[in-house]
Each structure stands twice: as structure tokens, then as C-alpha cells.
Amino acid sequence: MKKVIITEDILKVYNPKTIPVYALRHVDLEIESGEFTAIVGPSGSGKTTLLNIIGGLDSPSGGKVWVNGQEITAMTDSELINFRKDNIGFVFQAYNLIPVLTAKENIEFVMLLQHRSKAERAQRVKELLIAVGLEDKQNSRPAQLSGGQQQRVAVARALAASPAFILADEPTANLDSKSASNLLDIMLDMNFNEGVTFVFSTHDQRVIDRARRVITLVDGLVDSDVRRPPIYLPLNNPL
Amino acid sequence: MIFKLAFRNISRNPRRTGITVSAILFAVMSAVFMNSMERGTWDRLIDNIVSFHSGHIQIHAKKYWEEQSLDYSFEWTEALNKSISNINKIKAIAPRIEGFALAYNYSDTSSKGVLLVGTDPEKENNMSGLENRVCKGAYFNKEDKAVLMAEGLAKQLKILPGDTLTLISQGYHGANAAGRYPVKGIVSFGSPELNKQLVYLPLKEAQYFFDAEGLISSAVVSIENRLFLKPVLKNIKAELDSSKFEVMGWDEIMPELVQAKEMDELGNYLPLGILYVVISFGIFGTIIMMTKERQYEFAVLTAIGMSRFRLAMTVWLETVFLGMIGVSGGILISLVPVGYFHFNPINMGEQYSETFEKFGMDPLMPTSLAPDLFYVQAIIVFIITSVLALYPIVNILRLKPVEAMKS
């Protein structure tokens, strides 16, 4: 399988000149295309820091990161923004949709940044709205949607650009159990049927239980890295 | 998409947007009205002064204005008259020969220095409406060998229509000039300066008096609207030989009037400046709040691939849109009082009417509808909002997504 993410000896130190705090200590990881990976660990273990570095939102104090074969740790700020647009999808804990755009426009937004044609955008938005079950909410603004619905739009937005993988930082943290379960089903479905790679940090045991690979961080170090078959399959999984 | 995003962002906090837009609207409305009132009053004053005597444009022989001597007179041929008359926007041309003279009332033995103006009665009337200023006696005609006198001067010399006025002067190239003329009419001017020194003779008789037959000292041109001054001046200059003639606009002829207007305008800039500074702080407050509130959103937008430049452009557009909504509203609302007082000028009342009438003006203060009064406000607000938008733009350019998301 193609390796979409490779980290080599990642080090992240905060306050290096005063009281150094080691957020990540020499993390080496390889994530292959199509994986459904959960990064878990206690608070302060470095989960979010690792996701930020993999997503090119933060730079490591040492080490290198390759995404889709390109070394993102060597890129400039504007190169990184451009790279993220085409290669990485983000789902944030607090949904973070653009409040003045409708669900449909939020999904379309990244494709507009990619200068895709109107017809292509319309087709993709339609597909994604069906995939996340929000066809009837396409003209609703975020404030008119529930938390679960907003997070489903956020997943659709992250998928719209057809990225190499999706990074999700505690995607179910603000959702009730039903919405969280619904969102997980959608993500698993995308992963299983369309081969979308997901990497997410989580504390949520329901998410951890359904991940096929679980990487545990403790004090900035990879404590364990377990690959396993999923316990729960998505609802519409033919298997 | 940038436009759509910027426009919709304005409506995110309707109350704050409303307050900011109202502040801009009020500032623009006040600025337009104040400027319009000032401009309208000055325009009326200048038009009055220009139409009394000087005209909008004067054509002289080279060096005449510097020397103010009849020796710099020139021949105003029919061909010359035709070529200038054909220029677009010219309303009337009055050829004049002017010189200083001593006026003497033989029966009263009183005398006074006067400005003797030889002019074509019909053309002069077309230009300055001189006939309407006759308050006693009658207006003269081309063939008359009689004078019209300013009212103040006639009073000083104790002269009435039908009396005789003796004039003594120096003519063309030092020739003796003397003559006795019956007074046909008395003319009244608002300006005290003109009222105490003007004497008119028909052009032909004045040329004979000054021994300058066929010559004039200036051709006074009146145009349809003062706004056309520059193009008409340019066209007249193009028609004339610049080595022989000088062409001057009213602003060169009466620089003191231009200076007085400029001084008055300067005095107006201060309150307007203060108004705009206060408004700028109001807008800046809104921008700071908006920038602080949206740090997380800016971080998310850069995270998902929106370039900082594009994001900065969106925020700049938002700020400018906000300003332009205020400007448009301000201009639209200001059109009501500005339009009303343009067609129904403010009457200063009896208290001031005497002072105004002294200068030959109605005691009315109209507003001006000049387009620049309106679009200059739009430019000012555009500049202010663009400069203030630098704050969020710099913030976006320096934004660190991870830190912004944590905050």
C-alpha cells in the first residue's frame, strides 16, 4: 500500500530556551493509504501536536514529515497552504464551518479555491450531501443545523477536495452518542467504500473500538501501535 | 466567492454593522451638506461678481494686464470676433476700452477720478445685464455721445440725468483726451468699489475720446457655466497668437477672490477632519472586535487552504463594503436637504439682506449640486476604510493557525 504519511524522528519542544516541554519525542510513523487510524492517549500526550505537524499547521522542532511523497517540513508557509488545500482534509472538534455560507456552499468552498469547474463542483457537492445524509439541509446555514449535522458537513467539506487523507481532531468530542455514532458510520463508510484515509485523535472509546489501527501516545512517545480488524462494521457494509 | 463571503460577513452582527454604517452615514451626510452649502454660497458670490464686470475670461494684448495702459490696446477685427464667438459654451463677448480719467462737474466744480469704460451697449448688456442696472434716466445706444454713471459717483458729483459731465484723461500713446458728455442714465451696482468709480461711454465715442479708433483694451467673454472655464480658455488660446495676446480667466483676474475662497475652505476642513477622525475610531473599534472574534475562523480558513492574501482581500472588501454602504446611504440622504436648498435657497432674512444687497447679491444661500461634493466623500471613506483594514490584514499575514485555534 502507498504510504501517505511518513514522520521521521519528530521532535517538538515548547519553550526550548526557558523551561523546555517535550510535546513529541522522536516520533516515527508510517500511515498507509486507506487506513482508519486513531491516535489516542491521555491529555497532554501530544495527540493534537502530532496531528498539527502532520497537517502542516505547526512545524516540528526537529525531524521530517512527508505527505503524499512530498516533504512538508521543507515547505514555505504559502506552499504549505496550497499543499493543504489539495492534499489534506481537516475536521475540527468545534466543526468550524463558515457561518455565513450554507451547507452546500461550505462543501463547495475548497473546490472553489481549487478552481474546479461549476459542473464538477455541483456534482461533487450533490454526492457528498447524499453521502452524509444532508440533501435536505443543503441550503441551511450552520446556525440552523445541529452539532451532529454541522460535523457531517465538516466531513463532507474535508472530503470535497479529494484529499490524500483526512485529519480529524476529536471529531466526536462535542456530539451526543447518537450523532457520534452516525458520524462514525459515515467516516467508516467512506473509508471502506471509497478508500478514504482517516487519521484522528480521540478520547472516545466508541471511536477507538472501531478504528483499525490505534496508535497510543504517552508523554510524546509512541507507546503502542496496534493494527486490528474493525470490531464494528459500518451499517451499510456489505460484509 | 470572495465578494459573496465579504458581503455576507457584513450581516453577521447586524447591530454592530448598523451602528458603524450609521456613524459613516451621519459623517458623510454632514460633510456633504456643509461643503455643499459653502460651495453654493461661494459659487453664487463668484458668479455675481464675475457677471457684474470682469466676465469669466478676458482677452488682452500681450503685457496689458501687467501695465494696465492703453498703449497695449489692440484691434478687435470682425474675423477675430467671429473665431472666438464660434467657440462652444461662449455666451457673450463685449469689447471694451478702459482707462482712468478725471470726471468734473462744471456746475458744482467737484471732480473725481473714475474708471471710464467704452463698450458696445448691446453686447455689454448681453454680458453683464447693464441695462437692468439703470436706476435713473435711460440706457444708452451705440450712436449716443452720452455717458452712463455709477450711482455713487453721480451722488458725489451731484449729477442727475441730463446734466453734463466733463472728462479729462490721457489717450492712446500720450494723446490728450477731453470731452463733455450729457449724462443719459445712472446705473446702480452692488459693489461699493464699482459704484463709486464707473462711467460708461459707447465704444465708438470712447475710442474717439482716447484717440484709439478701432482699438480696444480688452474683450470680455462670458461663458454658459463657470465649470467650463478651463476648456473654453484652452480653446480661445488655441485660436489666438500667444505672442500677441494674453487670455486670462476670472481666477487670474481676481486672485484675491480665489484666496478668500480657499481660506474659507481651509476653515471648513478642520471640523470635517475632526468628524472623520471620530468616525475612523468608531470603524476601527468595529474592525478590532471583528478581528479578535474571528481568529479561530481565520485559522481554519488558512488550514483548509485559503491563501492569506485571499483571506486578507476578503476582510479588506468587508471593511470597504461597510464604508461604501455608509457612504451610499449618506449621499442618498444628503441629496434631500442639498437638493431642497439648491432649489429653495436659505433666506438670510432682513437682518443680513442689507449687507448682501450692498454687494449686489440676494440674501440667499443656495447649496451646490456639484458631483465632486459627493464622490469626494466616497473617496475619503474608501481611503479611511482601506487604511483601517490594514489592521486585520497584518493580523492575517502574521497569523499562526495553531496558536489562533488555541486562543
- For the stretch B32-70, pLDDT in tens is 999 999 889 888 888 878 877 788 999 999 999 988 888
End position of a domain, from candidates B242, B270, B302: B242
Gyration radius of chain B over CA positions: 31
In a domain, B206, yes or no: yes
Banded pLDDT at A238 (limits 50, 70, 90): very low
Residue A137 belongs to what domain range?
A: 3-227
End position of a domain, from candidates B242, B273, B288: B242
Average pLDDT over residues A70-82: 92
Average pLDDT over residues A199-219: 89
Assess whether B36 and B100 both reside in one domain: no
Cell numbers at residue B371, please?
458631483
Give the residue among B96, B123, B122, B129 at the shortest CA–CA distance from B199. Answer: B96
- CA-to-CA distance for B205 and B199, rounded, in angstroms? 13
Assess whether B238 and B310 both reside in one domain: no
Evaluate whether B404 touches B295 at the Cβ level (below 8 Å).
yes
Assess whether B77 and B208 both reside in one domain: yes
Assess whether B189 and B156 both reside in one domain: yes
Banded pLDDT at A231 (limits 50, 70, 90): low
Give per-residue pLDDT as tens, B77-114.
999 999 999 999 999 899 999 999 999 988 877 889 99
Residue B96 belongs to what domain range?
A: 63-242
Q: Which of residues 108-147 of A touch B (CB under 8 A)?
A: 109-110, 112-114
Give per-residue pLDDT as tens, A4-63.
999 999 999 998 888 888 999 999 999 999 999 999 999 889 999 999 999 999 999 999
Q: How many domains does chain B have?
A: 2
Assess whether B207 and B286 both reside in one domain: no
Secondary structure of residue B176 in the 3-state scheme: strand
In a domain, B248, yes or no: no
In a domain, A43, yes or no: yes
Q: Contacts of residue B402 in chain A, CB cutoff 8 Å?
A: 52, 57-58
Assess whether B219 and B319 both reside in one domain: no
Give per-residue pLDDT as tens, A132-190.
888 899 999 999 999 889 988 998 998 888 888 899 988 888 778 888 888 888 888 88
By CB neighbour count within 10 A (0-12 exposed, 13-18 middle, 19+ buried), where does B45 fall? Answer: middle
Secondary structure of residue B387 in the 3-state scheme: helix
pTM: 0.72
Assess whether B284 and B308 both reside in one domain: yes
In a domain, A77, yes or no: yes
B310 lies within 8 A of chain A by CB:
yes
Evaluate whether A91 touches A197 at the Cβ level (below 8 Å).
no
Assess whether B90 and B227 both reside in one domain: yes
Q: How many domains does chain A have?
A: 1
Determine the distance in angstroms separating the CA of B401 from the nearest CA of chain A, rounded to an integer.
6
Give per-residue pLDDT as tens, B185-227.
999 887 777 888 999 999 999 999 999 999 999 999 999 888 8
- CA-to-CA distance for A46 and A55, rounded, in angstroms? 14
Banded pLDDT at A239 (limits 50, 70, 90): very low
B142 lies within 8 A of chain A by CB:
no
ipTM: 0.85
End position of a domain, from candidates B190, B212, B242: B242
Q: CB–CB of B303 and A113 under 8 A?
A: no
HEC assignment per residue over chain A:
CCEEEEEEEEEEEECCCCCCEEEEEEEEEEEECCCEEEEECCCCCCHHHHHHHHCCCCCCCEEEEEECCEEHHHCCHHHHHHHHHHHEEEECCCCCCCCCCCHHHHHHHHHHHCCCCHHHHHHHHHHHHHHCCCHHHCCCCHHHCCHHHHHHHHHHHHHHCCCCEEEEECCCCCCCHHHHHHHHHHHHHHHHHHCCEEEEECCCHHHHHHCCEEEEEECCEEEEEEECCCCCCCCCCCC
